[in-house]
Structure 1
């Protein structure tokens, strides 16, 4: 069970302007709320708003699967915020193909790349001038997945896209370091979200086990809570992490095997 940490410092991110993609529910919504709790002004986006979307954020509906959609979002976010200091690329999704790699149609490989990899590049590149203007102390956090290091055939397209995101993030961190803009990547493990639960249920049904059995092997004894990821994001975008860039953090309760 998730233990609520001490109350957030409401001044830590005061004056910071943040954009969080995929912030309508799950991990994204938790990140939005945590940044709001830290004092930041937040714009978030997804295709549709949900009951989970934090009311304190400005919601802009958008489709990040195209270059035009990403650029339109960036322009709208800058118009609402007047600039940007924090970018969290969280948008992503996957469809499971139990038939394996050969059962994944070509269009889904392209869709996986567009949503899980290229959307982050397009949004980031559209906002780079504003990030450079904001200067040192700005931060980009890309939400990847342990699937990038633990690929399975039914999700090979998703895993490949997230692995590409990891490589891009590392290169971007090197390029932006002289400007004082930090870049970090988070790879969540089994986190309880609507999207992840649907994928895990598909695997559970195929194996004839319960959904709880899928996450029973987490060494810390529980699946992740979206707030586990949100707390890590809050650290990475704060001055507490001012000497942290180019890292890829696995947040999975110890599930990823040591290799």
Structure 2
């Protein structure tokens, strides 16, 4: 692997200022890519050499702003990482969710990727190359019905869509794959662990263990890091994965039961 394997490549990463997205942005930039990162709010400590676009890509207007700016300032993309996702709906199971809750989950976790793919794919096809990675989740196969059923359903749709897109655009020179993270200890996850520890009057390690146990355990014995995910994303974007198409790489420390 070359230390500058992405030299000359133009990459767009959505949700690129926190957690897994920030780790992907950092790694691609370190390996020579020209990186554009989107976020609803600009970072307090931007990475040198990275172009940040303030936009909510979960909305048609925000996605449109990103498309216009990228095409005007950078031309065609070589690499696209649809990382934006998450859940902000209340707990309480499926019956607690309103139409608005479902709509928010679908717009953030599915339609943001659909809109950007639809905008950038034609020019990738015209140049005869490109690589796209969609960030799904192990919850598409292991949903937590109490709190994230809409998120899990939207991620399942994203995985299905990703496979269909790979079948359609593979013959035109575009590689499309997905990465399904498990429990990744981002800043948000660390905050959740601290809240659990405070609520239960236990230490952070015990709260972390309880959260891992709620997923059925992690055989490797620890949560993942954003860098664990970024390394897999970088591999899938690189020429080293030149014969990998329509795949979904699970990065979960062994959480998902497999036979």
Partners of 1:250 and 1:211 lie apart in 2 by: 24
Instruction: Report the TM-score, using the length of structure 2 for normalisation.
Output: 0.90
Counterpart of 2:212 in structure 1 is 215
Q: How do residues 1-259 of structure 1 correspond to structure 2 at under 5 angstroms?
A: 9-51=2-44, 53-95=46-88, 97-136=90-129, 138-153=130-145, 154-198=147-191, 210-213=206-209, 214-215=211-212, 217-259=217-259
Relative distance call for 1:131 and 1:205 in structure 2 (3 A) is farther
Structure 1 residue 132: Cα displacement = 1.3
Unaligned runs of 5+ in 2: none
Q: Judging changes above 3 Å, is the alpha-carbon distance between structure 1 residues 74 and 177 closer, same or farther for their aligned structure 2 residues?
A: same
Deviations 1:44-103, CA, capped at 9 Å, x for gaps = 101012246433210010011222221221121222222210000001120253311111
Aligned residues: 251
Structure 1 residues 120, 46: closer, same or farther in 2, change over 3 A?
A: same
Residues 133 and 179 in structure 2, CA contact (< 8 A), matched pair in contact too: yes
Task: Return the offset for 1:197.
Answer: 3.9
Identify the range of structure 1 (90-99 vs 108-117) with the bigger mean alpha-carbon deviation.
90-99
Normalising by structure 1, we get a TM-score of 0.90
Q: Distance in 2 between matches of 1:71 and 1:176?
A: 22
Q: CA deviation at 1:163?
A: 0.3
